[in-house]
Structure 1
Amino acid sequence: MLKTRVITAVVLLAVLLPITLFAPVGAFGALIAFVVVFAAWEWARLLKMGGAGPVVYALIAALALVSSTYLGVAPKGLFQMAVIFWVLAGPFALLRKPVLSAGAWRIFLLFAGIVVFVACWHALVAARTIGVAFVLSLLLVVWLADIGAYFAGKAFGRHKLALSISPGKTWEGAIGGWLAVMVIGSIAAATSIFAPTLFTAFVQQLGWIKALFALTVLVAFSVVGDLFESLLKRQAGVKDSSGLLPGHGGVLDRIDALLPVLPIALLVVG
């Protein structure tokens, strides 16, 4: 398993890093489009669409993405709708735990998923347009929160964050992830390393106190995104969103925390 995980990681980095760092924005957008379409396919599978349903749903997501680009749909509107979903529906689902793959919830999530994935694509392309350092700093927020949560949880985890959804997550881990983002984000903003980054943009636009609060919101919603996908998987009776990435699960398993973070961050940056 470890060997498979390492090989997959190396292949992914070999593809993603050069395109992110050196390719034109158009090439980066094309790569992210593939990622988003596969994520949509997994979303439909977790909502228990049978037969060719997941493939059709992925094609609809691709069509919505292309249409939103060529028709000049304002990304800000998509970001706002995605944020409304994550702020209202995300926490509600985690607290009440309705059956997400049945009835009105499934219909709602199928429609909402299109908005969420198209908004994700536009947010990443907009971030890459600002600059390589900016898009990497945006990803770094989620990576730091995840890594900090893992090590803090291992060392100090005692109090479960969401036992019935994801038994491994603890409040101590979540706080550790938040601290990691606060420390690295503050250093990056104070030293203006690789500016413009998300951290420098937050401080310039909001000031230090509001910038740290904004980062706290991003960390909190990275947890919401992660737990929401965990709830989908638990109700679907699967460990991973798919087997597309051997040793790593599926695409959604890798981007779940990013889905709410991206639109919120881009709305704040403006």
Structure 2
Amino acid sequence: MLKQRVITALALLAVLLPVLFAPPIWPFASVTLVLIGAAGWEWGRLNGAASTAAIGLGVLLAMACALALWVGWGVAAPSLAWWLATLVWVLGGVWAIRVGPAGWPMLSKALRWALGLLALWVAWLALANAKAAGVNFILSVFCLVWAADIAAYFGGRAFGKRKLAPAISPGKSWEGVWSGMAGVLVLSAAWVALDRSWAVDSASLYTRLLERLGLAGLVLAVLFLTAMSVVGDLTESLVKRGAGAKDSSGLLPGHGGVLDRIDALLPVFPLALAMSSI
């Protein structure tokens, strides 16, 4: 299993790193469009779509992303999209976690499909816009989610006592959440210092927040984004539990599916663009 995970991770890096650092946006947008289309197929399967219908949902999502790229939204989408995504993720995420795995399947299939495809489309749009903003900016958002996840894992193992959502993800604890938030605060301080010391192609998310919202605003914004990364993770977990699935698919050997790798990123990227647009 470990060998599979390493090989898959190296293969993904071999594809993603060159397009991430390529100056034009279209290579990164194209590769991530394919991944998001695969995630749309996974979402359909998890929510009761037959094989053909699930493929159709993935293709439809990829076409919607391609259309957005064609009209120029891959570089500069309306900021209203980020704020609508914020509203939907905050209200919808809280509702989904509250009803849990048993309540989610009670929604109609069509509504579940639409909600998932919309979330994936806006997340891809935010990814493309973050890439257009600069490599330093997009990496700072990626690392927020990764730092929160890593700090939460080790903090939860060391201090975890109170379960966060046992019916959805038994391994998560409140202590893990607090540890993740602490880890992101440390990351934010370090990244702002690096922005000031090194020549970078763009301001990071943290520097933007500090300049626009001040220190208190930066702290509140990154804590909010860390919390929403947990909401994204829990939302995908409850959908899988509702479907009786361990992984979203087997597309990434050793890692599960695309949704398993990007669940926490789905709310964070559009919400990060909303916060940094204030």
TM-score w.r.t. length of structure 2:
0.92
Q: Deviation per CA, 1:144-190, whole angstroms, max 9, x where unpaired?
A: 00000111111111111111100011111111111010011112124
Alpha-carbon distance in 1 for matches of 2:170, 2:272:
28
Aligned residues: 269
The equivalent of 2:42 in structure 1 is: 42
Out of 111, 117, 140, which is 1:108 matched to?
Answer: 111
Out of 124, 127, 130, which is 1:124 matched to?
Answer: 127
Alpha-carbon distance in 1 for matches of 2:112, 2:214:
36
Alpha-carbon distance in 2 for matches of 1:213, 1:181:
11
SS at match of 1:168: strand
The equivalent of 1:219 in structure 2 is: 226
Deviation at 1:71, TM superposition (A): 4.2
The equivalent of 1:81 in structure 2 is: 84
The equivalent of 2:69 in structure 1 is: 69
Residues 164 and 14 from structure 1, CA distance in 2 versus in 1: closer, same or farther, beyond 3 angstroms?
same
Q: 5+ unaligned residues in a row in structure 2: which ranges?
A: none
SS at match of 1:142: helix
Alpha-carbon distance in 2 for matches of 1:183, 1:163:
28
Alpha-carbon distance in 2 for matches of 1:21, 1:209:
32
Q: Which moved more, 1:88-97 or 1:245-254?
A: 88-97
Contact 1:85/1:112, CA 8 A, preserved across alignment:
no
State the one-letter code of the partner of 1:124. L
Q: 5+ unaligned residues in a row in structure 1: which ranges?
A: none
State the one-letter code of the partner of 1:148. A
Identity %: 43
SS at match of 1:200: helix
State the one-letter code of the partner of 1:196. A
The equivalent of 2:271 in structure 1 is: 264
Contact 1:82/1:115, CA 8 A, preserved across alignment:
no
Q: Deviation per CA, 1:117-147, whole angstroms, max 9, x where unpaired?
A: 1211111111111111110001000000000
Matching of residues 84-99 of structure 1 within 5 Å: 84-97=87-100, 98-99=102-103
User: Where has structure 1 moved over 6 Å in runs of 4 or more?
Assistant: none
Deviation at 1:7, TM superposition (A): 0.8
Alpha-carbon distance in 2 for matches of 1:128, 1:72:
14
The equivalent of 2:180 in structure 1 is: 177
Contact 1:64/1:114, CA 8 A, preserved across alignment:
no
State the one-letter code of the partner of 1:125. A
SS at match of 1:52: helix
